Structure 1
Amino acid sequence: MNVKETILEESLYLFSRHGIRALSKAQLEAHLGISHAAFDEIFQNKADLVQKTVAYLTKKLRYEYGKTYVQSQSAIEATLLMLKNASSRLENFNPFFFRDLQKYYPSAWQLYLDYIHTHVYQAIFKILNRGVIRGEFRKDINLELVTKIMLEMYIQMLNPLVFPPSRYNLAEVFRCFFLYYMEGLCVANTYRMVDEFFA
């Protein structure tokens, strides 16, 4: 990991713990242990740091999803691992992180949405297709539509106007969104795995 990646990793940690707006540029420099001049050499401004941090986050997530697919023994296991990783991330992230992205850093938020609509779409589609072929998911599901619905549920869940972070726990919203939806996709012998996972 080079110096810039180390800074981005630490920035991701800070933003995920405190939110983005809660940290000024000066506070970020202090937390990161770099001077004002050093910051300005690497980043144009705080918005540029946020943009590059989100790009770094999506790169990490792509790697995680790739590992999940390769290491999982079945499509249902791969799906549940993906959901587990997403749920853990929501539990560990300050809910204002996503609100701040949407409200104050639309370019970075769009970068995250692009990642969801391309890489995550392809990953989910691939896993669901694998599950249908192997008889783990129902044969009659419309793969394209189901994948799209799952993505839109996730994006809607992050909408602070629909689920204000001060009122709703995002990890619990996530559970409510996906528990019953996943159960509806499963055949009898995989239904139990989903039930146990969300218990």
Structure 2
Amino acid sequence: MTFLETILGEILQLFKREGIEANSEADIIRKLDIRQSTYHELFASKQDMVLQVVRYDIEQQNQKQKDLLKTANNPVEEIMLLLADGIKSMKEISPVYIADLQLYPEAWRASLENVTNNNQQVNAEILNRGILQGYFRRDINLQLVTKIILEQFFMMINPVVFPPDKYDLAEVFRSIYLYYVRGICTDHGGKIAEEFFAKNNL
């Protein structure tokens, strides 16, 4: 891991705990315990810093996703593992971070593009294999279902729809996705999903 990656990782954890706007650049420099000159060598501005942190987070998330999917035994488990990891991640992130991130258009756009392009593609591939192998219903519209999964995510992180001071985002995530996935499973896939719910206490 490079020095820059170490710094980006530390800032990311700070953001996920406290949000972005809770810390000025001076606060971040102090908490990182680095020289101001070092900070400005790495980042042209706070906007640039936030963008680099988001791009680093995207790389980490996508690699983690690939590693996680390798542990699954079938497409239902793949979807469920992604959902369980999503719930865990939402519990670890302050809702303030998601709200603050939207104040940085380029970083927010990079985050949404990753969700749209990477996650939608991964979900489509899993669902397609699951249909062919008999885990998901053959009558589902693959393009429509992947679109619905994506739009449900955007709905979930919309503070107007689910204000973070009123709703636990992890519980919203669980309520939206777990029951939806169970609905698109065949009887065989549904049994596997139920076993996964029970085993993982979801």
Whether the TM-score (by the shorter chain) exceeds 0.5 is yes
Cross-structure match for 1:137:
136
> Structure 2: how far apart are the matches of 1:70 and 1:173?
27
Equivalent AA in structure 2 for residue 128 of structure 1: L
> Structure 2: how far apart are the matches of 1:193 and 1:38?
52
Runs of 4+ in 1 over 4 A off after TM superposition: none
Helix, strand or coil at the partner of 1:71: coil
Q: Deviations over 1:31-82 (max 9, x none)?
A: 1111111100000111111101110111011111212233311000110111
Equivalent AA in structure 2 for residue 39 of structure 1: Y
> Structure 1: how far apart are the matches of 2:154 and 2:34?
34
TM-score, length of structure 1 as denominator length: 0.95
Equivalent AA in structure 2 for residue 74 of structure 1: N
Equivalent AA in structure 2 for residue 176 of structure 1: S
Identity %: 39
Helix, strand or coil at the partner of 2:70: helix
Cross-structure match for 2:84:
84
Cross-structure match for 2:112:
113
Cross-structure match for 1:178:
177
Pairs within 5 Å for 1:91-170: 91-102=91-102, 104-170=103-169
Cross-structure match for 2:63:
63
1:190 equivalent in alignment to 2:189: yes
CA RMSD of aligned residues (A): 1.2
> Structure 2: how far apart are the matches of 1:55 and 1:194?
33
1:12 equivalent in alignment to 2:1: no
Cross-structure match for 1:34:
34
> Structure 1: how far apart are the matches of 2:164 and 2:176?
16
> Structure 2: how far apart are the matches of 1:70 and 1:195?
21
| Aligned-residue offset at 1:155 | 1.4
Equivalent AA in structure 1 for residue 77 of structure 2: E
Equivalent AA in structure 2 for residue 171 of structure 1: A
Q: Verify the 8 A CA contact 1:157 1:170 in the aligned structure 2.
A: yes
List alignment gaps of at least 5 residues for structure 1: none
Q: Verify the 8 A CA contact 1:65 1:123 in the aligned structure 2.
A: no
Number of residue pairs the alignment of both structures matches = 198
Equivalent AA in structure 2 for residue 11 of structure 1: I
Equivalent AA in structure 1 for residue 167 of structure 2: Y
1:49 equivalent in alignment to 2:49: yes
